[in-house]
Chain A
């Protein structure tokens, strides 16, 4: 999410007529409603209630929540804006996000549901030596979720500042802190059940808003997609070229390869994102896990097709120039369009939905990171599996507060930086460290403890190294340290190298281990993952 927010410029609001009073009241109502939902849904029971809502959600409910996890502010505002500005290239993101669900559907979701209980570590550690593997799983989970969360928090600051016209560094810091505190409240009060209901509420709101905007836009152009596209081309300096790829990624051979690398990370990363994986435990059976992916796939196809219309609509009705001159640039395309077609009220609604989106997504991330700490590190590594369910939940709640605080501080510190790379990086991490190990441990009988550790740390390590020595860190005007240049690796996204590397590391590690795979546990895991015999219900 790119947000060039200039705190000093004395300041144009996103829309001059947008009323802060209406926006503030819609936001306040929304926070109260979602907190009430989280409170009503809360259950103060066992660790299973707290972490995975006692596995009581239906496939449809979980599917809506899964799509909610995915339809973050970045995909709603970011993709619609990217389509309005860059045309076709903005659309490429959504295709990667959608196709990625097939990896979950075909290979991961049902097997994971049958094998584990709360976390990704349950599956990875199932037939390996518990302590090292769970520690690695927790490290990877926490790195991915915290990166992802800091990016969301930083985005939240700029975005809400933009929509509510809050100016200055302190104002933004305050907003980030409010987002953080509300999110911690959801997690502490509601646990997984509350967080999921908030996610369902928000996803429904978002989907309805987007569908109505799309219908309205199509209606305005007499349901002729061609007329809409004509108008869009007229409003965009790219003209007809906006309907073909190349505007954003086509600059040089490096940017093209970077795009291929990013696409690979997107399509393979989803099935390794810990907060997505954890959702599969909130349903009672593998069949319901399968259903939830189907729901998520259908909802997201609809959503992304709508963002295509909204993006073209924003180019047609608002015009690229006006969007780029607004304070949030690309991100302001959808809000500006909302104002254009529905006035102050619709602008308030879209702003509130975007805000709810950030809140719900960061709450899910916090829950995942704290569950991994409590269940993998505390209960299984530190207490060696002898922690009772009550103390696990207590530790998870304390961790959620710490993680919330860390991400508030992190979000405030990085909010002036371009943090879009953090999300891409989270996907690359997930694809490199988690996907290879998950697939190997589910489908390769010979895979063993050393293989797991090599693949995870190899994937994480190569990702980190490649990013540190990439233009993200140095040598580029947009870098974190623009003054020096130690960018040895030309690509901003490491996926194309680190993903294959982690698969290779897994093989090397496996063959270097003198200790063979645990035959009995492998049999148990295979039978359990395919049939559900012995699974937690």
Chain B
């Protein structure tokens, strides 16, 4: 056992695993499983709920990453090669370059907020459901 992989569900299962042999004389199923009291990760990975969670998350984070990277690289290329365009005045001393720069700040904050809302509303409840199922043994 390496340090990277402590026994899963340590806090919850340690008590049960410790008590089980005394209470049930080693016949109980939980005692038989004692050496490998890990949840079955393979089963979880194959379950519908997990597959749905995974694809929902990926459908959000990958396109979003692509979007902000393209927007950022586009901005960098403009800043490097389109000086005159960036210098176009808009309002007093404020020019296109400054507006686009501030827009990078704004988009970063907006994407952050969108992701947090998405994760709080869509991902966290699904994760909680899977965790509950695993603890109840229904998964």
A and B associate in one complex: yes
> Does B44 reach chain A (CB closer than 8 Å)?
yes
Residue in contact with A229 in the complex, picked from B1, B42, B92, CB distance below 8 Å: B92
Residue pair B81, A107 in contact (C-beta under 8 Å): no
Residue pair A290, B116 in contact (C-beta under 8 Å): yes
> Does B14 reach chain A (CB closer than 8 Å)?
no
> Does B32 reach chain A (CB closer than 8 Å)?
no
Known contacts: A260-B76, A534-B9. The answer to whether A88 contacts B42 by CB under 8 A is no
Q: Report how many residues on chain B are interfacial, defined by Cβ distance under 8 Å.
A: 60
Residue pair A88, B97 in contact (C-beta under 8 Å): yes
In chain A, residues 220-251, which have Cβ atoms closer than 8 Å to a Cβ of chain B?
225-226, 229-230, 233, 240-241, 243-246, 249-250
CA A267 – CA B105 in complex, angstroms?
Answer: 13
> Does A526 reach chain B (CB closer than 8 Å)?
yes
What is the minimal beta-carbon distance from A310 to any residue of chain B, in angstroms?
A: 16
In chain B, residues 94-124, which have Cβ atoms closer than 8 Å to a Cβ of chain A?
94-95, 97-98, 101-102, 104-105, 108-109, 111-112, 115-116, 119, 124
CA A24 – CA B57 in complex, angstroms?
Answer: 53
Residue pair A385, B1 in contact (C-beta under 8 Å): yes
> Does A528 reach chain B (CB closer than 8 Å)?
yes
What is the minimal beta-carbon distance from B5 to any residue of chain A, in angstroms?
A: 7
Per-residue contact bits, chain B 38-63, to A (CB 8 Å; 1 contact, 0 not): 11011011000010011001100100
Residue pair A244, B105 in contact (C-beta under 8 Å): no
Instruction: Identify the closest chain B residue to A229 (Cβ).
Output: B93
Residue in contact with B127 in the complex, picked from A117, A244, A530, A534, CB distance below 8 Å: A530
> Does A101 reach chain B (CB closer than 8 Å)?
yes
Residue in contact with A260 in the complex, picked from B80, B92, B112, CB distance below 8 Å: B80
What is the minimal beta-carbon distance from B103 to any residue of chain A, in angstroms?
A: 10
Residue pair B76, A301 in contact (C-beta under 8 Å): no
> Does A259 reach chain B (CB closer than 8 Å)?
yes
> Does B23 reach chain A (CB closer than 8 Å)?
no
What is the minimal beta-carbon distance from B52 to any residue of chain A, in angstroms?
A: 11
Give the chain A neighbours of B86 by CB distance below 8 A. Answer: 88, 244-245
Residue pair A259, B3 in contact (C-beta under 8 Å): no
CA A245 – CA B127 in complex, angstroms?
Answer: 46
CA A122 – CA B2 in complex, angstroms?
Answer: 9
Chain A interface SS verdict (over half):
helix
> Does B4 reach chain A (CB closer than 8 Å)?
yes
What is the minimal beta-carbon distance from B41 to any residue of chain A, in angstroms?
A: 4
CA A105 – CA B68 in complex, angstroms?
Answer: 12
Residue pair A244, B112 in contact (C-beta under 8 Å): no
Known contacts: A530-B127, A533-B8. The answer to whether A244 contacts B97 by CB under 8 A is yes
Residue in contact with B97 in the complex, picked from A130, A245, A298, A385, CB distance below 8 Å: A245
> Does A196 reach chain B (CB closer than 8 Å)?
no
Residue in contact with B44 in the complex, picked from A98, A103, A305, A533, CB distance below 8 Å: A533
Per-residue contact bits, chain A 322-366, to B (CB 8 Å; 1 contact, 0 not): 000000000000000000000000000000000000000000000
What is the minimal beta-carbon distance from A88 to any residue of chain B, in angstroms?
A: 6
Per-residue contact bits, chain B 1-28, to A (CB 8 Å; 1 contact, 0 not): 1111110111100000000000000000
Known contacts: A244-B87, A375-B3. The answer to whether A534 contacts B39 by CB under 8 A is yes
Residue pair B54, A530 in contact (C-beta under 8 Å): yes
Known contacts: A105-B112, A243-B98, A290-B119. The answer to whether A98 contacts B130 by CB under 8 A is no
Residue pair A95, B104 in contact (C-beta under 8 Å): yes
CA A241 – CA B11 in complex, angstroms?
Answer: 62
> Does A106 reach chain B (CB closer than 8 Å)?
yes
Residue pair B131, A533 in contact (C-beta under 8 Å): yes
Instruction: Identify the closest chain B residue to A244 (Cβ).
Output: B87
Per-residue contact bits, chain B 77-88, to A (CB 8 Å; 1 contact, 0 not): 101110100110
What is the minimal beta-carbon distance from B11 to any residue of chain A, in angstroms?
A: 7
Residue pair A245, B80 in contact (C-beta under 8 Å): yes
Residue pair A297, B108 in contact (C-beta under 8 Å): yes
Per-residue contact bits, chain A 247-273, to B (CB 8 Å; 1 contact, 0 not): 001100000110110011001000000
CA A117 – CA B1 in complex, angstroms?
Answer: 14
Known contacts: A244-B86, A523-B45. The answer to whether A379 contacts B3 by CB under 8 A is yes
What is the minimal beta-carbon distance from B117 to any residue of chain A, in angstroms?
A: 11
- Contacts A122-B3, A225-B93 aside, 15 further interface pairs with beta carbons under 8 A come to A99-B68, A99-B72, A116-B4, A240-B93, A244-B86, A250-B83, A260-B80, A263-B72, A267-B69, A375-B3, A380-B2, A519-B42, A530-B127, A531-B50, A534-B41
6 closest residue pairs by CB, A with B: A534-B8, A244-B87, A229-B93, A385-B2, A524-B41, A226-B92
16 contacts between A and B (CB under 8 A): A95-B104, A95-B105, A96-B76, A102-B64, A102-B68, A106-B64, A116-B4, A243-B94, A297-B112, A375-B3, A379-B3, A385-B3, A526-B45, A534-B38, A534-B39, A536-B10
